[in-house]
Amino acid sequence: MAIQWFPGHMNKARNEIKEIMPQMDVIIEVLDARIPYSSENPMVSALRGDKPVIKILNKADLADPDLTQQWMQYFEQDSGVKAIAFGHDKAAEVHKINELCKKLAPHKVGADKQLKAMIMGIPNVGKSTLINILAGRIVAKTGNEPAVTKAQQRIKLDDGIMLYDTPGMLWPKVENENSGYRLAATGAIRDTAIEYEEVASYTAEYLIQAYPELLKARYKIVELPEHDWEFMEMAGKKRGCIRGGNQIDTHKMSEILINELRDAIIGRITMETPQMREEEEVMVAQLREAAEAKKAAKEDEKKQRRARARKNRR
């Protein structure tokens, strides 16, 4: 599933970020702890240069705690990167983010100095809620719909930190099909832009392999089937998702599965691992190379046709 969802305000924000990035001392990237790889914006690594980055694995209270720990260790292998897990259960620890900012930019700490930090994150990652906690007041509009924040704003925090907020945005094209499904499953993309049954099918296939016991317990299934479509039918029957002719309403069951995943009713689930990231990065690079080779071959073919046409006109 190729995702291309890039409203106009996101394009404007991307250009603004490019312009002010050089002035920043620290970049704060808010990730969804359930999809730390798929919720990373490639633009951050492309634009930050050697600026230090704090990766906040937000919504950690909804994610698998063991995998959250693995992801934090994985990210911190990169120089200049610090990772911290955050969720509603850790709101009292928000001061750690300020402390990390000062630790990463010590030259901007002290009287008459101002540390500039830019906070970035994909839609619906919980960035606005986090900002309100950091500021100790309501300064950012929150909501469960993606792309609530539409304009850049500056927020003065304690400890001489100026926080530059940016709209939640995806990049123009999500190349990794797996990431597209995970972004849809966790709510980073508007539901009107996704096919529920496709996303639920992908999700079920992953959960059968990664979290079989949680599925069994939630949907009261003694023995899980091998295939996602069989699971959707079994779970749909258990939940009474029946339509005319005693057929299973798989669309209704798809909505139930996705909503219960998002609300952590099934359990604390992470939909990707560091190993999956490594494997999928290789796959994406291969697809990109193949696409570039195909494009180059087409251009070469066009040149040859034009050359033949010129020759024939002589």
CA pseudo-torsion sign 282, 41, 57, 50 = positive
CA pseudo-torsion sign 300, 301, 306, 307 = positive
Angstrom distance (rounded) from CA 184 to CA 292:
27
Q: Are 25 and 115 a contacting pair, CB within 8 Å?
A: yes
Angstrom distance (rounded) from CA 151 to CA 174:
23
CA pseudo-torsion sign 131, 134, 139, 144 = positive
Q: Are 166 and 189 a contacting pair, CB within 8 Å?
A: no
- Residues at the binding site are 58-61, 124-129, 168
Assign 100 to helix, strand or coil. Answer: helix
- Residues at the binding site for GTP are 58-61, 124-129, 168
